[in-house]
Structure 1
Amino acid sequence: MRIPHARTASISGLAVAAAIATTMALSGCATSQEEMLPTNGTTMAGIWQSTTTGRGTTNTADDIEGDHTTNLEHARSALRRPIAPANLTVERSAYTRTAANEIHSQFSRLPNPDLTLYIFPHLSGGSSEQVPIPGYTTVFPLYDRPHYGQPGERTTYQPVADNGGAAR
């Protein structure tokens, strides 16, 4: 009869261990979102404006002189290269990737030289009434359609550097 008693003891021990494990697992999830991620009352729009334009709320640790300037403005003043806010968009557009920039930088048009042809003065081809036609110049492209280079292909002429005329 001792065998059933040992079974009940081990079953009750397992039940206690399961209860403790469940309690510990649930208490680990009891931390509130405010404790883990404090917001300090700042909205997403305020954070965005303070980092991009300097018009939003600023962090007192970053605001050294108390003049509500952004890190970009601090960097510009340290480099002594002031820039007007209107010129910021012009500066950003110089390195911003666009579809047109990607196409032109990867697949640039190969040169299609224009051929200039001079037509001498002549008479029109009819045998009954030949009319004099003055000389004129016309321009047309060498190729019928534009050709595009492969990515990385050199599209401009670059002469080979001369080694001072040394023979090989």
Structure 2
Amino acid sequence: MTCAAVGVAVLGAGGTYALFNSSAAASTKVSVVAGTASISVTSPLALPAVVLYPGGTIRGPVTVSNTGNTPVALRVTALSGPSPANVFSQALTVGVGAGTAAACAAGTVTPTWSGTFASATAAPIGSLVPIGGSAELCVSVALAAAAPNAAQDLLSGFTLTLDGRQP
């Protein structure tokens, strides 16, 4: 009885009930082109050769250029320190932010990314570099105020890896 009532209700409602499904094969190959993302460091990082004391920060500018044919958003992908780690590298925090060389030298650039050698998560910097354009970045290196005395006079190199992704 219920089926009959549903059938009568559908017939009484009027309209057309049909399922449409159609497909066709492409006659030629289809290519999707998204562009080429490519960046290069055109002004390498040069940190000042000064004593980095506990609680102190040194900064240096770096310029990254977009040599591809699509805009790119910059991000930090890795931070690696000396191997084996030493007490100096364990007490450092590295930061990156967008800013001019003058603002970097004046210490007025706030890092939009920061990490330590023990914990450096990949994240965007917040800089969009147009095709053929460049971005000025400021890299800061801070020695923790509570750094142990054994961290003094130790040299430590590090590698900061950036990439550019299509926004």
TM-score (norm 1): 0.21
Return the index of the structure with the highest Cα Rg. 1
